[in-house]
Amino acid sequence: MTTKEYCNATPPVASCNVFINEYILLHGIDYGVDDAAYISSIFGTLTTYHRLKIHYAADGVPYIVFKDVRLYFDQFVKLSDDFVIPYKDKSINK
């Protein structure tokens, strides 16, 4: 399964506002030897999908690196179950 297929099949569990108009949605975490996070980046109508390695700070706090910016998991906000995702309109993702 590709990263795009995984992100489209799995609803996001958390979000983070990275830049002025760009949002990151965390769809899931792949645990293993190298932990990875599946994210989608939304910038206007453009959506990109990424599988990023999870790093750990010296004090044990996990973070990912996106566009040379450290995003600590503490910065993410948990989404409720009734959250409606406007980008899930299939006409945008084609």
Given a contact cutoff of 8 angstroms between Cβ atoms, the answer to whether 39 and 25 are in contact is: yes
**25, 55, 79, 81 from 36: Cα distances, Å:** 14, 9, 20, 23
The pTM score is 0.81
Q: Supply the mean pLDDT for the chain.
A: 85
pLDDT reported for residue 81: 63
**Which one is predicted more confidently, 77 or 84?**
77
pLDDT reported for residue 94: 43
Residue 13 reports pLDDT greater than 70: yes
Phi and psi at 63, nearest 5°, equal: -150, 160
**Which one is predicted more confidently, 92 or 86?**
86
pLDDT reported for residue 82: 58
DSSP-assigned beta bridge partners for residue 78: 14
